[in-house]
Structure formats: C-alpha cells, structure tokens
Chains A and B, each alone.
Chain A
Amino acid sequence: MKKFRCVFLKGGIFVVIYSLFFGWGQIQEIQAAVNSTKAECVFLEDPPAEVYFDCEVAIPDVAEMEARPTLLGVGAGAGSYGLIISLVDFVRSALTDFFSFVDKISLGYSLLFYLALFAIFFLLNIASVVIVIVISNWIFNRREIYQKYKRKEIIEIVSPYFYDDLDDHEAAGIVETLNQYKSSKDKQIIIDVLIEGKRNFTGEGSIKIKALYQVLQLHKVSLRKIKYGNWYRRSVGLRELAFLGKRAYKTEIENYINDNHQYVRTEAILSYMLLDDKNPFGFLMELKYSFVRWDSLSIYYTMYFNGIEPPAMAHMLNHSDLQVRLFLLRMISIYNQLDAVREVAKCLLDENPEVRQEAVITLRALEYYRIKVLMKNRYVDECHPVRLEILRSMKHFIEDDDISFIEERVRKGSFDEVFEAVKLLYKFSGYGERRLWLLDEELEGRIAIFIKHVAEPRNKHVA
C-alpha cells in the first residue's frame, strides 16, 4: 500500500511536469494559430465567442492530435490531449491570479496593513504550534494511560503463571483470557511483559513464558516486525525472538546478520548467540560486513549476563576479518583458554601488527612461559608496539638466561624499551638492581634517571 501510494504520487508529479513542459509547446502552437487568425479578422472590439469558431483557425484536427506524442504514448487519443490542455490552463490561470493579487496588495495597501497582517500570521503560527503540541501531548498521555492500564491488567492475569504449582485448568484459563487481547497494541504489551518476566525469572517460569509466547501466536507478531518493519522494528523483533523464541528461529535470524543497517546486524548477532548457546560464535563464519569493535563489547556482556558458556575459538583465529581475529584473541584471554595457545602463537607471525601485539598480550594473560623463546627470536624483526608488549610479557617469564637479552635492550633500545627493560631488571631480585647500576657505569650514567624513577617508592604504581 505504501509503495503504491509512493508510485501514485510520483506519477502525479510527472504528469504536472510533463504538462508544463511538453503540453506547453503544443498550447503555444494553438495559441499562435488563434492569434494569427484573429489578426486576419478585423474587429473594433472583442467579437462574441462563436465568431472565433467561424474563422479558419489552424487548430490541428483530431487525427493530427492522435498522431502527436502524449503522456499516454503516441496516438493515445484527443481525450488525453484535452486533459493536458485543461491542466496547463489551470496552472496558468492560477499563476496569473496569484501575480495579479501580489501586484494589487503591493501597490494598494499601506505599510501598517502589512505589519498587522504579519502580526496576525505570526500569532496564527504560534497558535497552530501550540495546538499541535497540546494535541500530541494529549494523544501521548492517552496512549500512556492506556498502556499502563493494560499492562497492569495483563500483569494481574499473568502473575500466577510463573509458579510451578499452577494446575492445567488454571493455565488454560490464563491462556484463554490473554487470547482475548486481539489488537496489536495489546499483543505488544503482552510481549513486553513476557520479556520482562524472562529477564527476572529462570527455571520453570522461564520455560512457561516461552510456551505462552508460542501458544498465543505472539511469535507471528515478532516475525512480522522482522520481515516488514523499518530498522528499529526489525531490531525489536529480533530481540523478542531471541528472548522468547525457540532455537528454530535461528535460521530466520541468520538472514539479518548481514543486514544493511548496523543496529539490525548487532541485534541479529546477539539474538543468534542467545538462541544458539552451544555454538554462540557460529555467526562469525557468516559475516560479510566488517565486524565492529563495539559489537565485541555487546557480545561479551550478553555472554556475561546470560551465562553463555564460551565456545572453542582457536579454530577461527585465521578469520579473514582483522577485527574478528582481535576479538577472538581478547576472548581467549578473558576466558583463559589455554588450549588455544598453539593457534595464538601462530598469530605472532600474522601480517598485521595489531594482531601480533594482541597475540603477545593474550599469551601473557595465558602465562604460557614456553612461548618466551619464540617471542625473543621475533623481537628484532618486530615493530615498536609489539616489542614493548614482548618486554612487558617477559615480566612473567624472566629467568637468569634472559638477563643478557634484557641488558641488550637497555644498551640499544629506544626510550620506551629502555624504560621497560630497566623495570624488568629492577624487579628481578636484588641482583637486578646491582646489575643496573653496573650497566649505568658502563653507559656513562645514561640510565641513572630510569633507575631512580623505578626505585622511587612514589612511582610504585607506574613501575
């Protein structure tokens, strides 16, 4: 219906433009012919209308008219041609009237009159705005009162449904009562109440809520939103399905993981996770759009608040999307998935420095000390941020045989590297500090400032 209206409106605009531009030329032709004939007939004053018809006017005959291109196509008939003429006449006369009116008022009235007119228009304008605000407020209040009233009514009916000891007869009565709410507004209120119930109750109550959603056919309301709504309604529909629906709707939700709208995509991802808690990251393999950083936070909190168990992620670390790889590394780190260490170590060779840096951070979090050798070997070829992360990671793995490696960083490293290396050595027992002062002598006092900084008790939190 909406599309039909749109097409109809566009058609109307096209007719007007066509009649103004193309019909205008034809009118000009006819007008020119009439004028030339008028010139031949000499009258002292305007002749009566019927006289024109006596003159030989070069008006094109019907056959010729039919041959002309019209809006309805070549040879569409004199009827459509006449319609265009009358339309153009109407527009022309309206414009003429308007300009004559403007002429009249601009020449015929005083400035005071215009000021008064302006004041009246101004007041009318304000009055109309106030009326619109009052009416919208009234409508909004009415709607709110209605919703509150209905919500209270529905909560009253649904309350017993959350408990285990409800018998079948009572449950059937509740379903029957709720089935009497037919309007879409009422159904939406029921859905909202059920979602809230699902958020607050678990166990038997939660299962019953899902059953009620199906029995009342409310899933059809949500599916309709997803299929025919705008981005907001699609998002709401997806959320409803995720909270109240069953696993079977996962296939429906999958279609929106690559939706045009970012919010819908995010909502589809979260819904997918809620419906498929055994493989919550399955959507990652379906992604066509780039993964957004913000989504990773939403995913984490959805998992946290809904108690979703983290799946195995190592096999997805070769994902083509950079953000997905970074996200997986962070999740491996958060959930301490030590079994993923081999795949994470492979990320130390990733072409992207961000991934390599995140891999070092993840390995540090996993405290997998054997990776130290690989990190040290990679150090020289690494970029600055990754080097710093490697040095920070050494803190967990430092042993006697690492001293020469760290001293090398103190001698040759950049400012940040020297700083990290000094911190490392300082914390490596009393020997580290003594060694640092010896190094300072060797380097002619160049690292004294770093040692003093690290040794300063007030810098404990920085060090």
Chain B
Amino acid sequence: MLRKIAVPVIALLVFTLLWEWLVWFKQWPNYKMASPSDIGPAFWKYKALFFEYGWDTLWRTVAGLLLAVVVGVFLGMLMGISRTLRDALYPILVGFNAIPKATVVPVLALMFVGQHDMNTILIAFMISFFPIAVSVSIGLSTLEPEYRDILRALGASRLTVFWKIALPKTLPEFFGALKVSVTLAFIGTNLMEIVEPHGRGLGHLFDSGKINADYPLMFAVLIALAILGILLYYAVVYLEKVFAGWADTQATD
C-alpha cells in the first residue's frame, strides 16, 4: 500500500526537479518554458479563479460524458441487437466521428447563441460517445449464442436475457471505452472554452493568460488540466473496479 503511493509520488518529485533543473540549466525565459517554481506563485495568485473555473470545466465535462454514456449505450444496444440497424447507423457514426470537433465549435456557437453551458456539454458529448457506442455494440453482437440459449430455453424474455447476461457481460468493454471517452470529453470541454471563449472554465483562464502574456499562468492551467484529467480517469477506474472487477482475473489470485 505504501509502495503504491510512494512510487508515483517519488516519480512526480523527480520529474518536477528535472523540469526545474532543465529550465535553469538552459536559462530559458518563462515565455519559452515556465519552471515549476514560477507555476506555484501563479496558482496562488489566481487560486479563487482556479477553483471556480476548474469546477466549471469539471461539471461540464461530467455532464457531457454522462450524456455520451446514455446516448452511446443506447446506440450500441441498437447496433448490437439488430444487424440492419448496425449496417444503417455505422457509416453515419463513423462519418460523424471523423469530423474534427474544432470545426463544429463555431457551428454550435452559432446554433445556440449564448448557451455556453449547453454548447460546451454538447461538444464534450459529441467527441466522446463514439467509443462507447462501438464497444457496447461489439460486446452485444459477439455474445456467444449459448449464453442466450441457456436462458431462452427456460422461456426467459429478451429483456431478461439482456439484463441478466448481455449487459453485465458487456461491462468490461464498456469501461474500457469509458476510459478513452472521459479523456476525450475533457478535451471537448476545453476545446469549446478556448476556441469560443465565453468567460468561464479553465480554457478561458488559459486564454486570458495568453492575452495578458502571463506565461506562468498558462502553464499553471496546463497543470491544473492534467490534475483534473487524472482525477476523472481514476474515478472511472474506481467505478470499473466496483462494477466490473470480476473481469480482472489477476486481482482474484
């Protein structure tokens, strides 16, 4: 247990020291590369804004991700259960996923003028639902027929088979996709906040750092984003352990 905490903490310290040393050794000005010792004061100076904007970014990311889970699972179910629907929906989804979301930002901003929260959530959702839909559909369509037969032979309904077997069996794939999606949703939120600034979120703080040539602030935002990203990712890992821990056969040894 101690080892589990100590190893990453020491690694982080070493990384920070190396960074500090590199900036000092190369005599880089802070507009080229801020050092950890510049970033600390930047955090302190704007700590109230970091909490406020960090919260904006966090809740909008989570809202977008939840929307992606609902829509992605629903689409995945449709594609996993019916071959026809899969053939119909798949090309559309692939095409939609291929559109760089940066190009969608101004479109959304024009569509829903002033609805910043909604725009941000929508981008986070759009960028992150695809892996969930694909993994759920693959999980459902690759269910061995015997799994279905053991319950169908007892007269169980399709819904019972789905609830008792298909759904839990797909959970490991679902969480695998969710780990990808949580990072994507986070990118989506920041994309909106930076490309279409509207005075909220860490993306906005980054943008104002840029405008005011406050380079340590920009780096501090990057670090804050990394911390939030780690938090979100490990929240998903925790949920995976709770709901799909059985799939990790190593842990049971």
Specify whether A and B are partners. Answer: no
